[in-house]
Amino acid sequence: MGARGFRFRQLYMSVDRRILGATRIAYGVVLLYDLLRRVRVLDLYYSNDGILANHYVLFQPQDHPQFSFLFPFSTGGEVRVAFLGLGLIYTLYTLGLFTRVLQVLVLVGVTSLNSRNLFAEDGGVSTLINLGLWSAFLPLGERYSLDALLREARLPTLRARVALRRRLEKPVVSLAVLALTLQIIVIYLLNAVQKTGATWRHGEAVHYVLWQSRISTDFSWWLAHHEPSWFSPLACRATVLTESAIPLLILYPYSRVTRTVAFGLSVALHTGIALMMTLGPFSYAMMALVLTRLPEEALVWVRERFPRRVRLWLARLRARSVTAISARVRRGATRAARRPLPWERAREVAVVVLLLALSTELTRANPYFRVKLPQPEWLHTLIFYPRFTQRWLMFAPEAPTDDGITLIDAVTQGGRHVDPFTGRAPDFSLLEKGPLPHPIEVGDYLFQIHFDFNRTYRHELQRYLEHWHEHGGRSPDDRIVSFEAWWLSRDTPKPGSVEGGPITRELLARANFHHE
């Protein structure tokens, strides 16, 4: 291999094992957060008592193909058992125990959780899935893990342990690292170059995003009412500039400094997004993804900032842990040799195949590419069963200049009008009152159900409302006898104003229930 080839491998195909360990921990924490946020809509989203029963989605899938290992779980109790199993998998993965096996199980878990109900699918979930895909080919458990402690404790001599530590100081070289690099570049660059609409060119996009009540936070709602005239133009240009700069900084050959800056920009950008928008795991997943390209010197720098006492305590704790485990383990020595070459070759071939497959989806899912690569049916199936999607259009090409949500006005047997998704009286002026009183998952559903392509799933909404009184300890008077589903919308305030357009109503569905 020539000097250029060696330099390319060093820059774009190698990663320090400490970075992989840190990435596993960060990714695991985000996975646990994603699972916990779904617990609040566990019955609504994932059981047959909710808005989309498993048998209905099998009969009428939201996309073709659609498959999830959560489909066999029907009742709320069964789904809770499945969630506990996923929580255990995510926790052990984060701690780094049985990491190689759990890397596969994590990917299966996060894709199944997403595919059970695609109303919650968004860019953050897609980022989690793609990070899980590419990192599954890498040894994430060799540093900062229980597996690493066990491996070292099983070695019989100090010389063997020293040899293992020396091997672990060598970087991992793999096409999977290149795939992660390309994934970061694709996400940021496409989000930047596809923001071509007038709202971005005129610096109005961030202003309009602040008024999206479905995803806004209390801070962004306050900011929308006190927004300086310079804020949105500056934030728009800073967003596009940052999204363009991060890929360039990662690709720049003098990578140790520039990649650290790229990670810092990513943290700053996504912290700002998280403060102003509720977008599920998006911001945290993106920071975990960019962490994979952080140079190892950054981790060393952080460690050296710890007080000396803390560093000594951590070193002693690690040494005592190895000694304690070694005293209890009675196995033969674990070899510190490299993985077998045939496995490495198979891994690299699999990465190449997936890169070629996802390149077809990349060109088909993003308007930026005028030439669309052909995607035969078998390849489409390979990509969409696990939802390895590659559509990166965050508020692009235009930011929305209107706001809307579906409101349910249900009448109970006792004569009360109630919104079943809040438990309170329907509020037809809620778009004017700030962030919606729903979790983002409920807001996503109530937003998407108004589209014509989701009309068939209003049948499931009707079923849910008909049996709403049977759950949550409600009284017979809470039985819903009729309902109307209204789409509420309004134009958001123009720049320089806090007065939006009037709220308009559109009737989506209505029904009367004849209970026996």
pLDDT at 104: 96
Cα within 13 Å of Cα(39), Cβ side = 13
CA distance to 120, 214, 271, 281, per residue, from 36 (Å): 14, 20, 20, 11
| Alpha-carbon gap, residue 28 to 94, rounded angstroms | 5
| Alpha-carbon gap, residue 234 to 156, rounded angstroms | 61
pLDDT at 353: 93
pLDDT at 253: 77
Structure tokens at 201: 């060119």
Q: Do residues 31 and 105 lie in contact, with contact meaning Cβ atoms separated by under 8 Å?
A: no
324 pLDDT tier (thresholds 50, 70, 90): low
CA distance to 343, 423, 471, 482, per residue, from 474 (Å): 57, 11, 6, 17
pLDDT at 159: 76
CA angle centred on 152, ends 146 and 156, rounded to 5°? 145
| Alpha-carbon gap, residue 141 to 136, rounded angstroms | 11
Do the bridges between strand 480-491 and strand 402-412 make them parallel or antiparallel, or are there none, so unpaired? antiparallel
Structure tokens at 367: 């308007």
| Alpha-carbon gap, residue 136 to 132, rounded angstroms | 6
pLDDT(205) > 50 = yes
pLDDT(170) > 70 = yes
pLDDT in tens, 93-135: 999 999 999 999 999 999 999 999 999 999 999 999 999 999 9
pLDDT at 311: 60
CA angle centred on 282, ends 215 and 383, rounded to 5°? 120
Q: What is the mean pLDDT of residues 488-512?
A: 95
Q: Do residues 427 and 433 lie in contact, with contact meaning Cβ atoms separated by under 8 Å?
A: yes
- Strand segments, DSSP code E, in 162-296 are 172-173
The share of the chain scoring above pLDDT 90, in percent, equals 78
Structure tokens at 51: 């808005």
Cα dihedral 99/141/149/163 (nearest 10): 130
Which of 39-48, 305-314, 335-344 shows the lowest per-residue confidence on average (mean pLDDT)? 335-344
Examine residue 495 and say whether the peptide bond preceding it is cis (omega within 30 degrees of 0): no
SS3 at position 128: helix
Summary mean pLDDT of the chain: 90
Residue 185 — left, alpha, or beta (φ > 0 → left; ψ -120 to 50 → alpha)? alpha
DSSP string covering 465-487, please? HHTGGGSSS--GGG-EEEEEEEE
| Alpha-carbon gap, residue 235 to 241, rounded angstroms | 10
pLDDT(272) > 60 = yes
Q: Do residues 43 and 471 lie in contact, with contact meaning Cβ atoms separated by under 8 Å?
A: yes
332 pLDDT tier (thresholds 50, 70, 90): very low
pLDDT at 6: 77
- Helix residue spans in 329-434 (DSSP H): 341-365, 377-384
Q: What is the mean pLDDT of residues 367-387?
A: 93
pLDDT at 151: 85
Q: Do residues 280 and 120 lie in contact, with contact meaning Cβ atoms separated by under 8 Å?
A: yes
| Alpha-carbon gap, residue 408 to 412, rounded angstroms | 12
CA distance to 52, 184, 268, 280, per residue, from 285 (Å): 27, 11, 14, 9
Structure tokens at 433: 């009152």
Amino acid 132 reads G
Amino acid 140 reads L
pLDDT in tens, 393-413: 999 999 999 999 999 999 999
pLDDT at 315: 64
pLDDT at 72: 96
pLDDT(263) > 70 = yes
| Alpha-carbon gap, residue 251 to 126, rounded angstroms | 23
Q: What is the mean pLDDT of residues 377-398?
A: 94
Q: Which residues pair with 409 in a beta bridge?
A: 484
The share of the chain scoring above pLDDT 70, in percent, equals 92
Which of 315-324, 348-357, 462-471 shows the lowest per-residue confidence on average (mean pLDDT)? 315-324
- Strand segments, DSSP code E, in 322-467 are 402-412, 417-418
Structure tokens at 415: 């004569």
Q: What is the mean pLDDT of residues 236-258?
A: 92
Which of 203-217, 306-320, 362-376 shows the lowest per-residue confidence on average (mean pLDDT)? 306-320
pLDDT in tens, 3-36: 777 788 888 999 999 999 999 999 999 999 999 9
pLDDT at 304: 72
Nearest-CA neighbor of 266 among 298, 237, 231, 291?
A: 291
pLDDT(333) > 50 = no
What stretch of H or E contains 9? helix 3-12
Cα within 13 Å of Cα(220), Cβ side = 24
Examine residue 65 and say whether the peptide bond preceding it is cis (omega within 30 degrees of 0): yes
Nearest-CA neighbor of 114 among 232, 280, 3?
A: 280
pLDDT at 60: 94
Tell me how far apart the terminal alpha carbons of the chain are, to the nearest angstrom: 79
pLDDT(369) > 60 = yes
Q: What is the mean pLDDT of residues 134-160?
A: 86
CA distance to 459, 461, 462, per residue, from 509 (Å): 10, 10, 9
Q: Between these two residues, 420 and 473, which has the higher pLDDT value?
A: 420
Cα dihedral 407/71/107/124 (nearest 10): -10
